[in-house]
Amino acid sequence: MNFTARVASRAFEGSCVTSIRRGVRGATLGLASVGLTALFVVPASLPAAADPPVTMDQAKEQVAQLQTEAAAIDQQYSGVKEQIKQGKEQLKLKQADLTAQTDKVSQMKLQVGQVALAQFQNRSLDTAAQLFVTPDTQGFLSQISTVQKVNENQNSLLQDYQQAQANLISLQHSEKTDLATLAEKEKQLKSLSDSSDKKLADARRVLAKLTADQRSRISAAEKRATARNNAAASRDAVRAPISGSGKGAKALAYARAQLGEPYVRNAAGPSSWDCSGLTMRAWGSVGVSLPHSASQQYNVGRRISKSDLQLGDLVFFYSPISHVGLYAGNGRVIHAPRPGKSVEYIKMSYMSYAGASRPG
């Protein structure tokens, strides 16, 4: 091979090597780029992390807490319902006053208008001239006497009319305010209802983490516990029967007859109850009126120390007060506990004691 051919061959080989090296380097960079992209690309959506498993005891505790919180909200609901009831009663009386005041103002306005009209009609002629031209002298003199008497009392009449108008405006404003307040209370009811329902939905979600067998075992255990408690109530009733003429004992007897009936929000019988609905009806059976609200019932009657409790006394729990039952002796109460439960006979010590009162 001559010199020129050898030079051309080496140039070609060098060009190929350079090209191959560039290709390998480009491929390496390309692979690195693909690898980095794959490393940092995040899927558009990741599956939600599974809820951590819970034991049966943990589930029971969580559900009981959520149901107790729902019952506390239910008592706020019942309290607002009671406020609405009282507000509507007051509004009804106020509207009756408003109707009467409207009629009064209308009558006074007519009187004032008649005086003004009489003065306008008689302003151009003096009394002597009017007497000369009138065909009914006796009637005119009578009218003049009346007008003069009205004139004497005109300032007083106008003042009374102005005061009556002011009272009417005040009543109208008060009615409008009361109606707005009732509307807000109705909205509050809806909010409280939704909050309670959410607590119960959360409780159902906790139970959903368990197997069907575990849920069945929890339900069976709660039924057995309720049956034991209510059986204890019957045994205690035999050993120490509720008797006597005391209103508290009779109210307790009423509550004992409801054992086993279900808890329902804002229920007050005849076959379902919330805590204050049960105590309200029990004391109502002996002629004592109570509001349908645990916190409001706390302000009714005479305060009683824990050591002086008697049958039928109202016993309150938690802070702020959100639960009430009737003292049943032996450190126990009869109460409507919470959603998912029924009226039961239970130790007071299972709940946080807040105070007691004796209605009537």
Catalytic residues: 275, 323, 335
Spatial CA neighbour of 358 closest among 317, 297, 307: 297
Distance CA 275, CA 267 (A): 9
Place of tokens 């019952």: 71
Distance CA 308, CA 58 (A): 37
Distance CA 335, CA 256 (A): 9
Beta bridge partners of 26: none
Distance CA 152, CA 320 (A): 64
Give 196-201's long-range contacts (Cβ < 8 A, gap of 24+).
196/70, 196/73, 196/74, 196/77, 196/265, 196/339, 199/66, 199/67, 199/69, 199/70, 199/73, 200/66, 200/67, 200/70, 200/339
Cα dihedral across residues 170, 172, 177, 182: positive or negative: positive
Distance CA 289, CA 84 (A): 17
Pairing of strands 314-317, 302-303: unpaired
The answer to whether 94 and 175 are in contact (CB under 8 A) is yes
The answer to whether 342 and 261 are in contact (CB under 8 A) is yes
Residue 322 burial class via C-beta count within 10 angstroms: exposed 0-12, middle 13-18, buried 19 and up? buried
Distance CA 315, CA 119 (A): 72
Q: For residue 312, which phi and psi values (nearest 5 degrees)?
A: 90, -10
